[in-house]
Structure 1
């Protein structure tokens, strides 16, 4: 009976739970799903991380390459994120060029990298106007069940903290770069941005960390990114019904709590790997 109701009237099925301040998966409205993190699992990458938020699974691999700085920013390196949503992660995605959702996610992450200043790109410059590091951040979804952006940001942050770069010197006579792969050092992480995503039902009911089904049924979505200083790095709202100032403040408050929780998790996993080494 319940299965039939869910199939025939999925929104009403969800509303029957929301009225009781709970959700079909047993969570309360403000509960995040269990989040797990592993780092350094891709041996061929300069840094990597695997994140699970509920059933949503994201892997991020970072590859550093030497390049010429851009003319506009001769004293900076740069970071290039790319989100891939292959058909294997969900039947909603098709083979071919990147989907609109994948492109939007890549742009969102690029904006967060810039606005949060997680890394000072000046520190990626080796020789002004001549040589710099480019960090290619390939983020792939292995299993999609909603809340893509939160999982991508956690995976990126953890992978950056796991990244080490070889020592590079520029020959005075030849001006050629000399790479010492035996001597590596980690990146300096200046900020720890963390995203928290929300769905709105019936213009007033907020649920955090939505599943794919909740995302498909809600009237609006919102993602808030904050750092450890409770600074607002980004607010992303792709259309839908408007939110009151009071609801927005509630989202920001929940996002700052989520930031502290995830930063602790990333620190704990990073330290345990360092201790094991």
Structure 2
């Protein structure tokens, strides 16, 4: 009976749960799905992580390459994020050039990196005006069930914290770079940004960590990113109904609590790998 009701009247089906302050998957409105993390998932990458938020699965691989700094920023390197939402993760995505959602996600991740100062571009400069690192951060969604933004940010942060780069010097005689693979060091992580996404239903009910189905029925989406100091780093809201200042403040408070949980999870996984080595 319930399955038939869900098929015939999917929106009313969801509303019936919201009236009872719960959701079809059994969660409270402000309850997250189980989040799991694995690091070192890609052996050929300089740093990598795989994150699952419920069924949503994202893998991040970071590859570092040497390049020349830009003329207008001679003391900075580059961080180039790219989010891929291929057809294999959901039937809603198609083959071909990146769609609008993938492009928006890539731009949002780039904004988070810059605004949060998780890594400073200056730290990637090896020799001013001559040599710097470029970090290509590729994020691929393997299974899409909503809330891909949160999963991407967690995967990116975890991958960055495990990335190790070799020592590079400039040969004084040939002026060519020399790479010492035997001596590697980690990136300097200045901040730990974590995102939390919300969906708004009927301009009133606020839910965290929405599934793909919940995203389809919502009237607005919102992703809030904060760091370990509770500083608001970025807000992503692609249209939809507006939120009151009170609702926005509630979102920020929830994000601050979530940030502590995720940072603790990342540190715990990294520590367990170190102890096992």
Q: Does 1:118 align with 2:137?
A: no
Q: Does 1:264 align with 2:258?
A: no
How much does 1:16 deviate?
0.3
Q: What is the alpha-carbon distance in structure 2 between the residues aligned to residue 168 and residue 128 of structure 1?
A: 13
- The DSSP-based 3-state class of the residue aligned with 1:181 is strand
Count residues in correspondence: 277
> Cα RMSD between the aligned structures?
0.6
How much does 1:4 deviate?
1.3
**Aligned pairs (5 A) from 1:60-139:** 60-139=60-139
**Aligned pairs (5 A) from 1:223-242:** 223-242=223-242
How much does 1:71 deviate?
1.3
How much does 1:162 deviate?
0.6
Q: What is the alpha-carbon distance in structure 2 between the residues aligned to residue 118 and residue 164 of structure 1?
A: 16
State the TM-score, normalized to the length of structure 1: 0.99
How much does 1:246 deviate?
0.6
Q: Which 5+ residue runs of structure 1 have no aligned equivalent? A: none
**Aligned pairs (5 A) from 1:12-91:** 12-91=12-91
Q: What is the alpha-carbon distance in structure 1 between the residues aligned to residue 128 and residue 274 of structure 2?
A: 32
Q: What is the alpha-carbon distance in structure 2 between the residues aligned to residue 264 and residue 36 of structure 1?
A: 12
How much does 1:37 deviate?
0.1
Q: What is the alpha-carbon distance in structure 1 between the residues aligned to residue 72 and residue 235 of structure 2?
A: 27
Q: What is the alpha-carbon distance in structure 2 between the residues aligned to residue 62 and residue 240 of structure 1?
A: 33
- The DSSP-based 3-state class of the residue aligned with 2:88 is helix
Q: Which 5+ residue runs of structure 2 have no aligned equivalent? A: none
* Structure 1 stretches of 4+ moved >2 Å: none
Could you say which residue in structure 2 is the equivalent of 1:199? 199
Q: What is the alpha-carbon distance in structure 2 between the residues aligned to residue 22 and residue 72 of structure 1?
A: 53
